[in-house]
Copies of this chain bind each other. A is one copy, B any other.
Amino acid sequence: MSEITRTSPDSLQETLQQVMRLIERHKLIEGMVHKQDMPRHELVEQLVHKQHVAELEKKLASLHPADIAHILEALPLNDRGMVWQLVSSKDEGEVLLEVSDAVRESLLADMAPHEILAAASELDADELADLVPDLPQAVQQELFTSLDAEELAQVETALTYRDDEVGALMDFDMVTIRDDVTLEVVLRYLRRFSALPNHTDKLFVIDERRRVKGVLPLEQLLVNDPELTVAAVMATDVVLFHGHDDAGEAAQAFSRYDLVSAPVLDSNGLLIGRLTVDMMVDVIQEESEAEVLSLAGLKDEDLFSSVWASAKNRWPWLALNIATAFLASRVIGAFEATIAHLVALATLMPIVSGIGGNTGTQTITLIIRGIALGQINAGNAPRLLLKESGIALLNGLVWGGVLGLIAWLLYRQIDLGLVMMGAMVLNLQVAALVGIGVPLIMQRLGRDPAYGSSVLLTAMTDSMGFFIFLGLATLFLT
């Protein structure tokens, strides 16, 4: 009997560091070979070099494709290319599926067409459909001609769905049975398989037209008398999905109903595939990452992409930001006379705008999360506005009061303190209103409520913060 593998939570970190050490040693040797060009030493160095490469190759072969993917994502571009060369070709397809889109691009760029085809040959139709859009046109053509008719039809079906639809994520591999046979027959039928599709926790019971009549959980198959018929023990309250259902919502349903697998139907209501929990976990992780990134105005970015590629990823947001910052600056510009009259205003105004921006960010974060979870709608939005407005009033009076007091003490002008407090109260109201309004309007317009929301928020709290504070100052202090 072989050893039981103990995957400790730290082991992946350790493996990553091990691989990085091997790469470093490898590069060190390469540098030495290069520098000391002494014929006598060369042979020895080359041997040591080969030994390190072999060690690295062996290490990689022992890893799960998901772990190789993780390591590749954590490596700078050059090292990544070197390690990728050493990955066994039977793992390459799986690794390509596991890495993020940005990293996948960098790996495919390093591969010759015949290498890509070899990697693809290890994949199922649904996995191929995932990969195909990222391949060069010529390779796509060649790949299609290498498939048999059934696989080709499956890939084509999967490709008719958008990336964020259930149909693009479903698996075509599944076990279907009829409801008029006994469990004994089902058990004998299963023994003819050498393996069941991944994550088979239930068999799908269909009629001759492929309409789903129910599901037979393996549990029911195992605990019931084999003499019973499928119809007698199958479950008929089934959570079903349609190919065009939103993948994110399907993932939420998997999480809510604790599903492992579920049938997917086409537009005629006929069974075409199967969703499994592993894909849904990926969807949940990707969506939450996308949300975090989108709040910072980013799209998925390879940690080690080039400066130029990264800069391009960040520019749309930055350009918008510069435009709004410039706008805010012009608001101040309109009050230059007031500032020239009382320079203290220039000192205090960033506090008003900054705190407005930060409290607004808290509001907008909660609202975006509420929208994502489907907990906010037209029915309860007014009540949320009331609550946030109440918090803003409380914060404005308490913290605005504290800041007003400090302004008064610093500059010995009670009017200035009152203007400070008044501006805080008003700007926090702006922050609450914008923090709730912007994501709700974005959603109503059918857009991602997170992406760009927070730029619009800071644009408003900055401009309005300056306008309110300097406006009040112009009215009452000059």
Which A residues lie at the B interface, using CB under 8 A? 1-10, 12-13, 16-17, 20, 64, 66-67, 70, 73-76, 187, 190-191, 193-196, 198-201, 212-214, 218-219, 221-225, 231, 236-240, 242, 245-246, 249-250, 252-258, 260, 277-278, 280-282, 284-285, 288-289, 291-293, 295-298, 301, 303-304, 307-308, 310-311, 314, 317-319, 321-322, 325-326, 328-330, 332-333, 336, 339-340, 343-351, 353-355, 358-359, 361-362, 365-366, 368-370, 373-377, 379-380, 383-384, 387, 390-391, 394-395, 399, 402-403, 406, 410, 455, 458, 462, 466
Given A75-B380, A256-B64, A391-B314, A351-B333 contact (CB < 8 Å): no
CB distance from A122 to the nearest CB of B (A): 16
Contact B257 A304 (CB under 8 A): no
Contact A201 B198 (CB under 8 A): no
Contact A350 B328 (CB under 8 A): yes
Contacts of A374 in B (CB 8 A): 12-13, 16, 70, 74
A355 to B462, CA, bound (A): 12
Contacts of A384 in B (CB 8 A): 303-304
Residue in contact with A347 in the complex, picked from B293, B333, B376, CB distance below 8 Å: B333
CB distance from A458 to the nearest CB of B (A): 7
Contacts of A224 in B (CB 8 A): 191
Contact A292 B281 (CB under 8 A): no
14 pairs from A and B in contact (CB 8 Å cutoff): A6-B240, A194-B223, A199-B201, A200-B219, A258-B278, A277-B281, A281-B281, A284-B288, A292-B292, A296-B362, A298-B365, A311-B394, A322-B351, A350-B350
Contact A4 B191 (CB under 8 A): no
Given A296-B362, A391-B307, A17-B246 contact (CB < 8 Å): no
Contacts of A458 in B (CB 8 A): 354, 358
Copies in the complex: 2
Contacts of A10 in B (CB 8 A): 249
Among A310, A359, A379, chain B packs the most CB atoms within 10 A around the CB of: A379
CB distance from A19 to the nearest CB of B (A): 10
A74 to B375, CA, bound (A): 5
Contact B333 A339 (CB under 8 A): no
A257 to B354, CA, bound (A): 45
Contact B365 A293 (CB under 8 A): yes
Contact A394 B307 (CB under 8 A): yes
The 9 closest A-B pairs by CB, nearest first: A288-B288, A9-B249, A346-B346, A74-B375, A296-B365, A307-B390, A66-B256, A258-B278, A325-B351
Contacts of A350 in B (CB 8 A): 325, 328-329, 332, 349-350, 353, 462, 466
- 7 new A-B contacts at CB < 8 Å, known A75-B380, A285-B288: A2-B237, A70-B256, A191-B225, A193-B223, A199-B258, A200-B219, A292-B365
CB distance from A419 to the nearest CB of B (A): 15
A249 to B10, CA, bound (A): 8
CB distance from A450 to the nearest CB of B (A): 9
CB distance from A460 to the nearest CB of B (A): 13
Contact B246 A9 (CB under 8 A): yes
Given A238-B5, A462-B354, A301-B255 contact (CB < 8 Å): no
CB distance from A73 to the nearest CB of B (A): 6
Contacts of A391 in B (CB 8 A): 307, 310-311, 314
Contacts of A339 in B (CB 8 A): 339, 343, 346
Contacts of A375 in B (CB 8 A): 16, 70, 73-74, 303
CB distance from A260 to the nearest CB of B (A): 6
Contacts of A281 in B (CB 8 A): 254-255, 277, 280-281, 284
Contact B359 A314 (CB under 8 A): yes
Contact A255 B240 (CB under 8 A): no
